[in-house]
Amino acid sequence: MACRSTGFAMLCGGSVQEAQDLACVAHAAMLRARVPFVSFFDGFRTSHEIAKIATLDDAALAAMIDEAAIAAHRARALTPDRPVLRGSAQNPDTFFQAREACNPFYDACPEIVREELERFAGLTGRRYRFFDYVGHPEAERVIVMMGSGAEAAHELVDHAVARGERVGLVKVRLFRPFVAAELCAAIPATARAIAVLDRTKEPGAVGEPLFLDVVAALYEASDRERPRVIGGRYGLSSKELTPAMVAAVLDELASPRPRRRFTIGIADDVTHLSLPFDPELDLEPPDVVRAVFYGLGADGTVGANKSTIKIIGEQTPLYAQGYFVYDSKKSGAMTVSHLRFGPRPLRSSYLIRRASFVAVHQWSFRERYDVLALAAPGATLLLNAPGPADELWSQLPREL
């Protein structure tokens, strides 16, 4: 968000798979458009996740990247062998004109990105658009968002549509240049209420950046009825966004007078902007194995689980996901490893809440933490205990 006014084009990935794919598309488009690109995704939630993906091979990369465009790019590099003048100080008599002279490059950029996305789809079978819509074709309530939170929202929307609800989700891919007409085309004409979710806070502004972009795009679309648009914040500092929270946003859209601004995922007791949600709502299918491991920083728990999830992902047909929670103190603090694996691609971009397997690698944790808080009924508990089995029960806290 801090980079959005720099002039960089910006492509957003919502998962590990998308982060890889859109990095390739961004590089190919940059060479042709001559506009710098930021291929971005959620820090920590996506950047630190281990997941099974379809990797791009050298043949696909070679087909995506134009060798002539690389040569032309390098030929424009600054070098004393071919001196040119760039970036000189400009006075008011020329600066404004020179600043506007770059407009044709940005006007052409979206079409170049579209062509590269189509080429990528032809090579890999994975198709992305500027704004991807999922949900009911005649949705009345729609959420617009980008990043990893959109994957959790995707889960909830699929669940709600299967129950007959007319709801939908727009995932933003191309954040800059923002193509307003494409956004309006992605939102069903039946939409009556829209919630735009931003993972940032801009104090003092009338709304957050994505919210303002969506409002402006709809305002300029004179050929459609303008729906009610509300804006919410979520997920700051990697705060969780679960399907239950997304359900609360859709419920708010259904109310006769929805809040114009809100937060989701926290209990805001200062300005009371937070929406209530049902923490017991769980959409994860039973054929997905969910395991949680408690360890101590530097005891090897995280490293071992990273190896485990890679083995499952590489050596079995199952899809695997690993995410690891540890704080800035690193060594000496508690770590929690969250591992999922199952027969289908995993969209669950949030921590496990109902684990079928819980491992506690530090004996002292049994007294200091509620190590069964994330255990589902009937879960298996693996407790690393120092004494013999016949003495174990007398050493467990009554609550455990």
Does residue 76 surpass a pLDDT of 70? yes
Look at domain 131-264 and name its CATH class: alpha beta
What pairing do the DSSP bridges indicate for beta strands 289-296 and 334-342?
antiparallel
| pLDDT 10s digits, 218-251 | 999 877 788 999 999 999 998 999 999 999 999 9
Residue corresponding to tokens 């729609």:
142
Closest CA to 198 of 212, 182, 177: 212
Residues whose CB falls within 8 Å of the CB of residue 134, separated by 6 or more in sequence, listed in order: 154, 157, 158, 168, 169, 171
Half-sphere exposure of 119 (CA within 13 A, CB side): 19
Residue corresponding to tokens 């648009």:
229
> Sorting pLDDT into bands at 50, 70 and 90, what band is 297?
confident
User: How far apart are the C-alpha atoms of 159 and 153, rounded to whole Å?
Assistant: 10
Other beta carbons within 10 Å of 222: 6
Question: pLDDT value at position 88?
Answer: 82
- Does this chain's domain 131-264 share its CATH topology with 289-395? no
User: How far apart are the C-alpha atoms of 311 and 304, rounded to whole Å?
Assistant: 11
Amino acid at 53: I
Question: pLDDT value at position 273?
Answer: 96
CATH 3.40.50.970 fits 9-79+87-124, yes or no: yes
Question: pLDDT value at position 145?
Answer: 98
- Domain residue spans in the chain? 9-79+87-124, 131-264, 289-395
Question: pLDDT value at position 225?
Answer: 85
Please compute the mean of the pLDDT values over residues 369-391 and round it to a whole number: 94
3-state SS, residue 250 = helix
Please compute the mean of the pLDDT values over residues 289-294 and round it to a whole number: 97
| pLDDT 10s digits, 146-205 | 999 999 999 999 999 999 999 999 999 999 999 999 999 999 999 999 999 999 999 999
Does residue 287 surpass a pLDDT of 70? yes
Please compute the mean of the pLDDT values over residues 70-85 and round it to a whole number: 93
Question: pLDDT value at position 329?
Answer: 67
Residue corresponding to tokens 């995506």:
64
The CATH superfamily of 289-395 is Pyruvate-ferredoxin oxidoreductase, PFOR, domain III (3.40.920.10)
| pLDDT 10s digits, 18-43 | 999 999 999 999 999 999 999 999 99
Look at 329 and 26; give whichever has higher pLDDT.
26
Does residue 86 surpass a pLDDT of 90? no
pTM over 0.85: yes
Please compute the mean of the pLDDT values over residues 350-359 and round it to a whole number: 96
